[in-house]
Each structure stands twice: as structure tokens, then as C-alpha cells.
A and B are shown apart, each in its own frame.
Chain A
Amino acid sequence: MSFVSKPRIIHKSLKRNALGLTVRDYEGVATTLCAGCGHDSITAAIVQAFWEMDMPAQQVAKMSGIGCSSKTTGYFLSAAHGVNSVHGRMPSVTTGANAARRDLTYIGISGDGDSMSIGLGQFAHVIRRNLDMLYMIENNGVYGLTKGQFSASADLGSQTKKGEANQQPPIDPVKASLAMGASFVARAFSGDKEQLVPLIKAGLRHKGFALLDVISPCVTFNDHATSTKSYAYTREYYHPAIHADFIPPSEEIVARYDEGETMDVQLHDGSHVILRKVDKDYDPTDRGRAFNFLMDAQDRGEVVTGLLYIDQKQGDMHQRSGTASKPLGRMEHQELCPGSEVLKDLQKAYR
């Protein structure tokens, strides 16, 4: 952990994006997590993704709950507003914020404890509402801040440092969200930035709820030989089922893709996600088959990654409820108050 403040030195050689900003401009305060923590790699990928997307900071709201993962919203995009709320309740705060300001881009950072245990109820219901947000779970199978208890995502038989084996089956955020009807489901590994960055971008641009579960080893409490959420285990059983390339609306698709192995998904804002399939039979628009594929892979002990499912037909919360396109939080009083004459009229029913 570091407690020195981070120097703001921007080297001249750093590239600038369309807003004239360098990647450093998308950083936050210095991390206080353990050296080698997977979460820090994810933070770096988030910084990279926002920078590459030319995202203005005021367009973003960073939301989190409690835990090591939830601390990380402080470590990127200092220039964006953020709420570090209470344990397991990030989805509700984000729902309210989105209700008020539908024009902002929401990134929620959670952990396996925050989402699969204390926050499982809110996790389920934010999916049900198809809230327009990217929901990232930094998944390490362990409670870090309280020093090493199993979380609900720990695999059966995975052991703690002291050798105690987990006796309860895991709740897998990917399978759970698929079952609950999520419209975008992806998994990645903190050690594979190349795969992670485009998934972050696609998730941010997806109109609706995007789940991105990122296996993110805890170097202090869950990175030993008998853990199934360690760097070594994840690397060995890592199974990228599908790669995603993200292409923003203004750019042309220049890379050459072999026909039959790729799938072009155009998002609502005009950007494209080109999916390169490693498994030829995989169809990321078929919820049932995606589920079966994951079940089979789990039996083999594999960690399947990639953009595993996408459905762009579901309307988000506002589309379903017919909310005004102008954000409610920006409306003037005159647009909202019916006035004294209407009040007189309404009261006729109470005479």
C-alpha cells in the first residue's frame, strides 16, 4: 500500500486523445491496495478504455459499494463525480442517479462479496430493470478487507491459505445474470488487458445493463496453490470463448476478419463490437446455449471469458417507463409545477 500522494507529471511523449487529454488525465488518486492486486490492473484498463473513447469526465458517474473493489472508483477519473455508497447497495443508488440523469454514463464497480452476498437482491433487481450501466465485479472469491473469509463466488473445494476447503457451491455472477435476464454478460481476467479494454468499452456503450465479471486475484489472501481464483489457476484454465473488438461509431472497420468466425454487433450509438469466436459453435445471442456452454466449461474447471451474451432488444428502465428524454434532474420548476389554477381544479374531486 502506498500513502504518498501521486505526482502529477505528464510526460511530453504521452499521446493525447481527441479531447487533448493523456491517459494520465483519466487517473485518480494513488491506489491503497496491495502490490500486485488484480484490481489495480482493472483500474488501469478502465483508464485506458475511457481515454481511448475520448470520454469527457463530466459525462461519467462512478458508483460503488464497500470492499477492496469499491475503493477503486477513487483510483480513476478524478475529474468525474462518484459515490462510494454502502455495502451491497450500489445498484440502488445508481438506479436513482440514472432516474435523475439519464444522460450520464454510469460505471459501477463492485466485488463478489458486495454483489453475490450482501447485495445479491439489488444485483438481481438492477438486472431486472435493465438499468443503463456497466456493472463490473472485481471477483477474487475472498473477503480481503476482513482478511480472507470465503466469499459466495469461491469455488467448491477451493482452499484458504490455512487449508480450509470451501464446502458451499459458488454463485457465479455470469450464470446468475444470464438466468436473471441480463442483456449483456461478459467475463474477463484482470491479467488480460487486451481482452478487458474492449469489453469495458462495449459495456459502457451497451444501452442497458452490462455485466462484466473480472477474475481478479487477491495476492494477499487468495493467490496460493490451492485457490481457484489465483493468477496461476486462472492462467491455466483460462478459456477465451470469444474475443471482442470495440470500434467506435466514427471509425471504420479496418481489420480483416475471417468470415464465419466473426460476428458484427452494432450497438445503439453506432459503434460496433466485432466478436471473434474461438469456439465456432458459440452463439452469443442464444441465452440457453450460452448457459449450457458455461455449465459444461465449469464442469471442466475452465474459466470462460469474453462477451458471452448480448441482447439489444430489451428497453432500458426509462424506455420501459416512458420517462422524458430531457433528464428529470435538469428540469426547471415551471416544467414540473402545475400551478395554482390546476390545484383548484384538482380539488374539485374532494368536495
Chain B
Amino acid sequence: MSAETSSAAAIGEVEGVSLYDTDHPAPLIEAPRKRTKKTPKSTRTNFELYGWLFMRLSGIVLVVLVLGHLLIQLVLDGGVSKIGFAFVAGRWASPFWQIWDLTMLWLAMLHGANGLRTVINDYAQRDNTRFWLKMLLYTATVFTVLLGTLVIFTFDPNIR
């Protein structure tokens, strides 16, 4: 895009002969909404509805889970200096904290992944870019969620 300001007179006073005239107009920049054969068909599923609702509900739950987590980890009982292998082992001995951390992990990861999916849909311009960015996102999400779950359930406090 050129942003130069020509004073008066007409536009297009380019040096030499103009490439375009009445019979050969310049190509127009097509609007993104033009329907083509490649335009995906409507889906008729409730996926977006559930996705939207999940963001609201998980957000509310996450406020409690994350703020509670931060309070325990960073503020209460000597703050961050107390965190060590023994502290984590002690917490994960109780099923309550296991479930707390598991819920937090799953909700935060899915909430973040869904948000990023929306961002990618909004900003990726080419179909290929969009597809590969989303694949990267899904891979990273699945990997992190599975690894975290595995650690929470198979954590061995006697490991040395």
C-alpha cells in the first residue's frame, strides 16, 4: 500500500505509459468472503457452541484453581522458598491435591489451546499456514496434557 499524498490533479501520473486502461483494468483485490469451490460447507454441529461455553465455564473454575494454587505456592508458609521435592511429594500424597492439579492442568491447557485456536483462525491468512499452526498447537497440547497426567499419577516420592 502506498500512502503518498499527491497534491491536486489526477492520480496515476506514473512515469512512462500506464499499464492499465479502460479495456485492461488493474486486478481488484478480492474480498475474503467470495464463495468459491474451496469454501468449506457449513458444518451443522454444535462444536463452536460447546467451545464458547467451555471457555466461559472453565474460565470461572480456573480463577479459583489458579489463584488458590498461586496463594499456596507463593504466599503462604514462607512463600516460594519452601518449594522443593519434599513439598511436592507431600502434596501429591493426598488425592485432593492430585485432583486439584489434574483439573487445573486439563482446564488450563484446553482453555489456552481453544483460545489460541481462535487466534490462529483470526490471524492466519493462508489455509496452509492455518492448518499447520493448528496441528502444532494440537500436538503441543496433547503432549503436555498427557505428560502432566502421567507425572501426577505415576509420581514416586522415593525416587533417587
Q: Do A and B come from one complex?
A: no
